[in-house]
Structures are given as C-alpha cells and as structure tokens.
Structure 1
C-alpha cells in the first residue's frame, strides 16, 4: 500500500508541480505586458471564478474517486460505471448553471470589491473580466467527473496529464492574446486582461479532449473488471448513489472553496480597511494584487504536494477503512504527515528567506513585494496541512466535522481581517489567514485523534527532527545569501536567479546529506531509496 500510495502521489504531484511552475512562469511575461497597476484586475476575476467553481465541482473528483474506490473494493464495479453514465448530463447542467450565476452576478460582485472614485480600475472593468472568465465553468464539471472516476481506479496519470495540458493551452492563449491586443492591435491593458481570463475556457476544452483519449485507452480494462466481477448491473439505486455522492461532495466543495473564500474576504475588506488608515485606493489595489496574485502564485508552489497527497490518499484510506483495517489507516497517516512536512517546510521557508530574489526574478525589484512574500511564504505549510487533514476526515466518513471546522476557520478570518489590516496593513491580512487556517487544522487533528485514537510519538519525534534540521539548513542558506550579496549587488533577474540556484543547491545538499546520514529520508521513502543510498555509503 505504502509504495502504491507514494507512486500515486508522485504521479499527481509531478503533474501538479509542472502545472504550478508553468502557472508561475507565465506571470513573468504577462506582468511585463500589462504592468503592476493592471495585474490586480486579473485576480479580481479569478477569485469569484474560483469560488463558483469550487462550489460547483471542486469536491467532484475526490468524491467520485472515494465512491468508485469503495464499491470497487467490494467487487461492485458496476455501481461506479452507473454513476458516471448517469452523471454526465447532470454535470453539464451544473456547468451551465454555474456559468449563468457568475455571468449575471458579475456587476454586483464588482460593486462589492471596488469603488470607482479613487482607483484606476472601475466597477465595469471588474464586471467585464468576471463575465469573460465565467465561460470556463461550463466545461469543468464534466471534466472533474471523469478525473474522479480514473482516480477511483488508482489511475492518477490522466488527471496529472490533463491538468498539465490544460495549463499549457491556457498559458499560450493568455500570453498570445495579451501580446496581440497590446502590441499588434494597440488595445488597452484592460482588454488584454479580459482576453487572458477567457483562456481558462480554452484550457478546459483541451483538458477534456485529453481525458476522452484516456477514456478510450482504458475502457477495455474497465470492461474486463466489470465482466470478471460477475455483476454487470448495479443493484444500488440512483437515488442512493446521488445521496452518497452528495454526502461526499459537499464537504470537499467547501474545502476547495476555503482558499478563494479567504481571498474573497480580502477582496471585500482590504481596500476599505486600508482606506480607514489613510492609504489610497490605488496603493491598496497594488498591495492587494501582490497578496492575492503575484506572491500567492509563488506561495502555492509547495502546496501542490499536499494536493497530490490528498487526491491519492482518499481512495486508499477509504478502502482500508471499509475493511476496518485500522492499522493500515494509521500507517498511511504516519507516512503522509512525515513526507508532507519533510518536503513542504524547506520549500516554504526557502522561498521566505530568498523572497527578494524570487520577487525580482518573477516580477520586479520591490521592497513591498519582497516583504509580502517573505511573510506570506511560511503560511504555505498551513495551506499544505489543511487539505490533507480534511482528506483524512473524508476518508473516515466525518463529513459534518469538515464543514463545521471549515466554517469556524473562515469565521476566524472574517472577524480578524479588518482589525489586523488596520494594525499591520498587508501583514494583517496574512496573519488573519494564518489564524483561520490554524484553527481549522487544529480542529481537524482533534477529530482525527478522537475518531481513530491516533497518536504517534514517532511522528512527533520525527517532525521535531525535521524542524531542527530545517532551522540549521535555513541558517546556512541565509549566510550563503548574505555572503553573495556582499560580493556583488543583486539588481538584475539573472543575478537574482544565480543567487536562488546557488543557495538552493547549498540548502538541498545539506538537507539531503543530513537526513540521509540520520536515516530519516530512507525511513520515509522506503526500500527504493535505501537501495540507492547504500551504494553511496548511507
């Protein structure tokens, strides 16, 4: 199980990593095309789009994978097939309804987040980009359903590849559209952003074609499993199927919406709170763009590991929980928490230490952008832990607790956001986000402990060891950065990239050497790693 879980996680993680890297890299030329003042218009469209999308479909892949995995474990392959066939039309209708809601609510949403009188971006500008991005909602529900079906059979590759192709196609249209509008047709930055957000629809169409290709390729395997089960028709009624799927989907729809909902809280409170302390709408709009788009893109890179884990973990936990094999459930939890923190902590903290270089490489030299990124990057650890803890609760059928804990976390963010922004400006919004996520994660862990009687002294010891090694490694990276900056002034993208590469190599070499020497890496990643490390003397 451990090796299969790790393999499935790595497939999803590699796909998500490449997709996330592309999702960050394209911002570099796009930022240069539209400029710092108009980049914020892009995030004004994507935050409400992400919320509608999360409510409509974000729980579908995980819910369907959980449902299919459960019935496949019981030898009932027909019920999963019945779900997919009957849900295609339902998902298509859901997509159209989601599109209509977002399209016709575009202007009211725009009035919520911005005022015309003191900003470059008007209410009409925000409404326009929201309408353009709403078309993508039509396609995504069907796409999510098919991805979930594949994951239920532990086929993670179709999801990973389709996500990657979706991102590539979207980025090509974002950049080519913006370039043509601005450089060929002499259009405005606002028009370029409108075309850029419409690219989400084109990327989703491309992803759907990839999934269809995989469906044709894997259909013989699915048919063979159906025949071998000796039960070609399902005895479970559609009513019971949809009831069970709804129970699975609702919590994860809310889980998927937590990050964009936190961003939406910033959208409706940030500019007003900053105005209360005398900061102009133009300046606060730039800071909000840094918080919700430019730095957020970088902060979310380490989080892709958690997303891969949560998607791959649920079918396995569901399967063992259905068999009442609690020893395997606890073993999978031990492995997940350790590997997650082993990889996420150094990535998040490394971005924080090298914040000035990262912001210069991807955007421009900016003291404000550097400060926001440096303070925001460690929150990625919380962003990573949250989906994994909710995936565990979903796997052990504690959906109501997921909803309750999520609502408490969002309420914490909502209550603290305005007073924290008034006290600490942009850092206040970051702090409120950290507090909201921490509350939700702690409540999730308490629920896991009570339900599974899960407590591992070994995990606590290893997490403590990971933290200690990371602190030493980060000190070494900081000294390396300080030494380089005293040799020459870092004021170009190439020089900043050199600093990042040199410091990353030094940090990774130290982290790898120490964790291999201590035997920690071998214990986490199993026999395959041990086989290679023995050859080099570890």
Structure 2
C-alpha cells in the first residue's frame, strides 16, 4: 500500500512539473509569433482569468481527494460517490457562474487595466478577456473528477489529463495564432483571442482523458460500493462544509501571485501615464514585467517549491504526533532545500539576464534590466508558498489570510508611488516589500506555534549564501570572458553564453555543496546515486545535523 502511495505521488508530481515546464517553454515560440503587442493583450486577459479559476477550483482536487480518501479508509464508499455526483453539478454551476461574471465584467476589467481613452484598445482587451472566460465552464468540473480519482489513490488520470490539457492548449495557441496572423493575415486581436480560447480547448482535451479513465475504472469503482458499510449518513451540507474548510487555505495560496499581478495590471499603466509615458509604451513595459520576465522568474520557483512541498506531509505527521525532534528536522530540511535550490538559480538568472532574455524573446536591454532586478524575487515567491504550506501542516492556516492581506495592502499602497519614482523597477520593489512582509508574518507564526528554532537554518543559510557568492564570482568571470567574442544580441550565441556560464557556475556551487557535505545532508541517497551514475568519487559530509 505504501509503495502504491509513493508511486502515485511520484506520478502526480512528475505530471504537475511536466505540465508547468510545458506551460513555461511555449512562451518562446509564442512571443516570436505575436510579438510584444500580442503578449501584452494576452497577459491583460490571463491575470483576471487566473484569479477566477483559482477561486473556482484552487484546493478542490486536494480537498475532494482528502475527503474521499478519509471515508474510503472507513469503507464508507457511498459517501464519496454522493459527494462526486453532487459535486459535479455544483462545479458545473459555479464554473458557468464564474464564466458569466468574467464575460460580462470584461469591459470593466479592461477599462481598469489600460490607460488613456482609446476605444479600440478597450474593445480589443474586452474581446480577448471574453475569449478566455469560456474555459471557466469546464475547468472546475474537470478539477472535481481529478480529485475523485486522487481520493482513490489513482494519480495517473490527474497527471495524464494535466499533461494532455497543456499539450492541447499550447498546440492550439501556437497554431491558431500563427494561422490567423501569417496565413490569413488577420488582426492581432483575433490571433490573441484564439490563443486565449485555447484554454477552453485544452480543458476539453483534459476532460476527455478523464472520461476515458472513468469508463475504464467504473466497474472497479462500482465494485467498491458493494463493500460499503453504510453506517454513516452524512448530509451534503456537512460534506461541503468539510470540503470548504479544507480547500480555503489552498485558494489563498493559489491566488497570492495572481493578486499581486492584478494590482500591477490595474495600476501600472495609469501610474506610467501620470508621469507622461505614452499608453503604448506603458503597455509594453507592463508586458515585460508581468508576462515576459515573470514567466522566466517562475521557472526556479516551480522546481524548488515542488521539491520542498513533498516534505510537508511529514511535517503534518510530526506535528500531530507531537514529535518535536522530527518536526524540527523536517522544517530544517524544507527551508534548506528551498534556499539551496532557489538562491543560485535566482542569482544566475539575474547575472545572465541579458542572454537569457534574448534566448527566450529578443535582445532588449530594458527587458534584461527588469529581469535582472526581478530574478531575486523568485526566492520570496518560493518562501511564501512553502511557509504558507507549513502553516497548513501545523494547522494554523488562518494566519495565511492575515499575511496575504498585509502583503497585498503594502503592494497596493506603495505600487503607484514607487512606479512613479522608478517605473517598472518600482513595481518589482513593491512586490518585494509585500512578499517580505507576508513571509515575516508566516515565519513568526511558525516560530510561535511550532516552537521552531531557526538557528540551524540561519547558519546554513549563511553557508549557502557563501557558496552562491563563490558561484557568482566564477560565473561573472566566465561571462565577461565570453562577452569578448560572443554577443548576447544573438539568440544562438546567447544560448552558448548561458550553457557555458551556467555550467561553470553550477559546477562550482555543487562542488562546494558536495565538498562541505551539505548536499548529502539535504538530499541523502539521491546524491550518492547521482555520483555513482556520473562515476564521481564519494565523500562523506562533515556538517552536523
């Protein structure tokens, strides 16, 4: 049973990471097809959509899977089926309601997003927003089915449907935009509307995968009902109360980043207009910040957070059992792994911002400059996600609301003044200050309620910072040497610069991690297996636990 659970968790984690990677990589060809004007339109629609979809579905698969798994363990299979049948109708209704709200609110959202009184621009943003809103009908419905399968310890359907949904969406996005612009010579707004409507087509693809699994697994699921004890009769009201309490914290964590982006969307262009920047220029700056740079910054966040969050279930177990030593050990591990993976990635992105930006999009000194200051914020994105998850693990998720509200209030208060002072970099600074405040509150709560001493993490953080500093020096030297005969204005040469510089930097960093024993302390047998495969000599670490 344990091996089945671990295998299922691995499948789901792998599917989620693969889905995220696909969702990040497609921006390279998409930018080449639609350019900056297209990505600006695209992002205007996707930030509100992300918030709507997060509110409608965030936490539902996990909450439903926990509920069904709980009652399956009690052999009360009918309770889970009752939730499933009722939940499908509820999700269909909430999804359709969310679609109607976004569809009819699109003109207002568009007006809030852009500066100036350009009617044509307002109409374009409204059209694109309405195109993406159709996905809201399907996605909540699909998320409940995923949760139902996960509750039966069947992770394959969720993983495969996520990947298929992403592949179908990306294929339709790229082909649709290309055909509209380069074959039919259509308008940009039509191409981007097709690209955003791809979210609906992708959701249909993911839903078909789930329907196929349901058809294959239904005989087995029906057989479970034959073994139902039937001793519990739980009302739908009690069921949804339990689901909501479990899902609500995940909703907050899920919408934190989109809410910060939404504040930029609704204030950035107007603040730039107040300091005399033309609307088109302001919208280009917005695309650089909220779409182009953000997509790159999220890459190390996704990987580091996914690895760290695998440790959260063991934190929950240790906390419930009152095992103080195990809890401290797990928290030490979580924070160190997060910093060990995110810090060098953020520094590397910042240092190599110009060739990275060129490789992803085009040579643009302004874009590279924004990415350079935005990259370190990846550390804060990761820390917020993990500290919020730890609050869930120690059953203090109520403070997630407080920390998020404080962070958003700081962002909202400082965003316009800082944008007026520093333009795009001011928006990055406001995000930094907002996330920092939210993380400090989360850390204080962890300190108080988990009685967690941060001494070891503080010492190890200094060591990780030292290693990252050495990596930065080595990478900087190699980068400067490469610039003597390679140009970051060329895509091919930028890729070469990144591969060589990042390779040297990663080599320095992981050598120091291995030499000190820190890497083995954090990753255990995984490091030994990696070194065996690479045929490197092993070395025992000297660091204390």
Q: Which residue of 1 aligns with 2:113?
A: 113
- For 1:311 and 1:298, how far apart are their aligned partners in 2? 21
Q: More displaced, 340-349 or 157-166?
A: 157-166
- For 1:525 and 1:364, how far apart are their aligned partners in 2? 37
Q: Which residue of 1 aligns with 2:497?
A: 499
Unaligned runs of 5+ in 2: 539-545
Tell me how far 1:257 sits from its aligned partner.
1.4
The superposition leaves residues 172-201 of structure 1 with CA deviations (integer Å, 9 ceiling, x where unpaired) of 101111111112212111110011100001
2:356 to 358, 378, 400: 358
Tell me how far 1:283 sits from its aligned partner.
0.8
The superposition leaves residues 363-382 of structure 1 with CA deviations (integer Å, 9 ceiling, x where unpaired) of 11101000011111111111
SS at 1:139 equivalent:
helix
Tell me if structure 2 keeps the 8 A contact 1:16–1:304.
Answer: no
The superposition leaves residues 301-327 of structure 1 with CA deviations (integer Å, 9 ceiling, x where unpaired) of 112135535765565555555555555
* Greater RCO structure (CA 8 Å; 6+ sep): 1
Q: More displaced, 396-405 or 317-326?
A: 317-326
Q: Which residue of 2 aligns with 1:462?
A: 460
Q: Which residue of 2 aligns with 1:52?
A: 52
Q: Which residue of 2 aligns with 1:133?
A: 132
| Cα 1:523/1:213, change in 2 over 3 Å | farther
Q: Which residue of 2 aligns with 1:97?
A: 97
Q: Which residue of 2 aligns with 1:281?
A: 279
TM (norm. structure 2) is 0.90
Tell me if structure 2 keeps the 8 A contact 1:182–1:192.
Answer: yes
Q: Which residue of 2 aligns with 1:268?
A: 266
- For 1:342 and 1:157, how far apart are their aligned partners in 2? 30
- For 2:158 and 2:305, how far apart are their aligned partners in 1? 12
- For 2:43 and 2:290, how far apart are their aligned partners in 1? 7
Tell me how far 1:521 sits from its aligned partner.
1.7
Structure 1 residues 415-494: aligned runs within 5 Å: 415-494=413-492
- For 2:35 and 2:268, how far apart are their aligned partners in 1? 21
Tell me how far 1:49 sits from its aligned partner.
0.6
Unaligned runs of 5+ in 1: none
TM (norm. structure 1) is 0.91
- Whether 1:290 aligns to 2:288 is yes
Tell me if structure 2 keeps the 8 A contact 1:116–1:122.
Answer: no
- For 2:289 and 2:179, how far apart are their aligned partners in 1? 28
Structure 1 residues 19-34: aligned runs within 5 Å: 19-34=19-34
Tell me if structure 2 keeps the 8 A contact 1:78–1:234.
Answer: no
Q: Which residue of 1 aligns with 2:541?
A: none
- For 1:435 and 1:406, how far apart are their aligned partners in 2? 12
Q: More displaced, 442-451 or 325-334?
A: 325-334
Tell me how far 1:352 sits from its aligned partner.
1.3
- Whether 1:390 aligns to 2:388 is yes
Tell me how far 1:423 sits from its aligned partner.
1.1
SS at 1:490 equivalent:
coil
Structure 1 residues 107-506: aligned runs within 5 Å: 107-117=107-117, 122-152=121-151, 156-215=155-214, 231=229, 234-309=232-307, 312=310, 316-318=314-316, 321=319, 327-506=325-504
Tell me if structure 1 keeps the 8 A contact 2:168–2:201.
Answer: yes
Tell me if structure 2 keeps the 8 A contact 1:31–1:39.
Answer: yes
- For 2:514 and 2:327, how far apart are their aligned partners in 1? 27
Tell me how far 1:102 sits from its aligned partner.
0.5
| Cα 1:176/1:233, change in 2 over 3 Å | farther
- For 1:124 and 1:446, how far apart are their aligned partners in 2? 47
Tell me how far 1:235 sits from its aligned partner.
4.4
Tell me how far 1:457 sits from its aligned partner.
3.1
- For 1:84 and 1:457, how far apart are their aligned partners in 2? 46
Q: Which residue of 1 aligns with 2:84?
A: 84
| Cα 1:528/1:22, change in 2 over 3 Å | closer
Tell me if structure 2 keeps the 8 A contact 1:477–1:506.
Answer: yes
SS at 2:362 equivalent:
coil
Tell me how far 1:59 sits from its aligned partner.
2.3
- For 2:302 and 2:311, how far apart are their aligned partners in 1? 14
- For 2:325 and 2:352, how far apart are their aligned partners in 1? 41
Tell me if structure 1 keeps the 8 A contact 2:358–2:488.
Answer: no
Tell me how far 1:384 sits from its aligned partner.
1.2
Tell me if structure 1 keeps the 8 A contact 2:71–2:80.
Answer: yes
Q: More displaced, 124-133 or 214-223?
A: 214-223
- For 2:82 and 2:304, how far apart are their aligned partners in 1? 30
The superposition leaves residues 468-521 of structure 1 with CA deviations (integer Å, 9 ceiling, x where unpaired) of 211211221121111100123333111101111111221222222221222222
Tell me if structure 1 keeps the 8 A contact 2:363–2:488.
Answer: no
- For 1:150 and 1:320, how far apart are their aligned partners in 2? 27
Over the residues paired in the alignment, what is the CA RMSD in angstroms?
Answer: 2.9
SS at 2:229 equivalent:
coil
- For 1:322 and 1:224, how far apart are their aligned partners in 2? 34
Tell me how far 1:463 sits from its aligned partner.
2.7
The superposition leaves residues 153-184 of structure 1 with CA deviations (integer Å, 9 ceiling, x where unpaired) of 66555443322221111111011111111122
| Cα 1:427/1:89, change in 2 over 3 Å | same
Tell me if structure 1 keeps the 8 A contact 2:308–2:338.
Answer: no
| Cα 1:359/1:210, change in 2 over 3 Å | same
Tell me how far 1:415 sits from its aligned partner.
0.6
Q: More displaced, 45-54 or 204-213?
A: 204-213
SS at 1:257 equivalent:
helix
Tell me if structure 1 keeps the 8 A contact 2:383–2:439.
Answer: yes
